[in-house]
Structure 1
Amino acid sequence: MMRQYFSALYIVALSLYILSHIVDVPEIGSEIRGYAETLVLYFFLASFAILSFSNIFSKWFKKERKTASETISENLKAHVFTTRIIVFIVVVGFPLFLYFNHSKDWGVSDAVVVAIPTILLAIVIAEQNVYTYLANRLERTGIEQARVAAVYQIVDTMLKDPTRKGIPEQYDIEELEHRLRLWEDRTAEANFAKFASQAIITLRSIKRNNATAVWDQFLDRVHTDLGEFVDSFT
């Protein structure tokens, strides 16, 4: 709700500012407008500096361990934050720059004036492309995590089953093989596909030879390898 109020207030203030240039206003109105322009410019520069320094210092002093999903999410937020700043510069900062360039006679050439919004818009487009890539990456990471967790849960259940002695029931092995095969077929990661493929080959060899000792080693190895990945996103 507060965001809507601020948006409405900003639209009203911007409309009054534009109207003050269209209609004749008293001298006191021109002075107030000049003070407001200076205040807005200083407020923008100060806010940008404070947010920039706070972000830098928070990165330096924040030493906690982050999962892959949290890292991608933070990168997404950073790109959204950067895009909003650039859009604010285009919508608010650039008109102020044009006004001061005209009223204060800064003498900035037309080529530079045209280049500024062009460069800013190019940065916005690049940020949006990176945002789209990271969003897709985050979605794919979530899918991969679900697939790994499904295989890991089956292996973890087998290892922690108090009644387990040697190779488990046939349906347990078939379920594990089915999950590994789905993971191999649907994963977009080459390392995951290779891991699942090798696990399937080993599992079928164990079933064929009824190798109990190798089965225990196989379960421990898969549980350890997948556990490291599961720990990275939980």
Structure 2
Amino acid sequence: MAVIIGIAVALGSGLILITLVGTLFLGISVGQQWSHTAFTAVYETSRDLSTNPLVLATVLGVGYYAHVTERERAYKRHVERQHRQGDPTETITHERPRWQLVAGFTGIGCIGALDWLVIHTGHFPRGSGLGAFVIWMTGATGIAYFLRRALHEDRDVAGFDVWSPPWVFTTRYALSVGLIGSVHSLIAPTAPIPEPHLSLLLWIPPITGGLYVFQRILKRRTRWQLPTTNWLRARFDSLSADGRIDSETEPDDKNKNQ
């Protein structure tokens, strides 16, 4: 929604600017002509985009990715500024480990996407498409909501090297497009995203959530590897030292008995 509003504001501002420039410097008739020409070009382009959903989705996707990138950079600057001031962000805490929530919602999203797939491919025609949609929407929404916070927690608390825009963009944009396509498919005989493309699209949020959980576990294991190895080595050295002490004290005890 923010991307659409931004595009509308940019187009409106451009039309007003073109009209003002033409009117102030070349005359009222020229300003009106420029305004009409620019409006016609925008209208024709918008009509062409509306008849080609793939092109429209691509244009909106590029704009939304730019929005997500700038938003994440602004949040990172905000956190770094608070850390320099000695006031860490209150919302970043270990009390609510969000990556476990991402894993749980990933499972729910997989169930919903699988249910939708088997229903719309004819393998389970008696199933409820609405029920599959509700399950998928619950899982995908949870992934899109908690994944961003889990990424922030990984970067700002755990110290992982995280670049969050691709993860946030993939889950949230796939959620938005999937919601539009699924609702349209449920209420209308023809959908802007035909099958099986819609069924494959619904798998993007749970797959992204699963990939995040998998790579986080790998990173966590790598971080645990050195401390665990050091602990095991120290424990082994301690046991070996205890064994040497026992072996050295046993002959003395025998001599005392003799």
TM-score by length of 2: 0.27
- Identify the structure with bigger relative contact order (alpha carbons < 8 Å, sequence gap 6+): 1
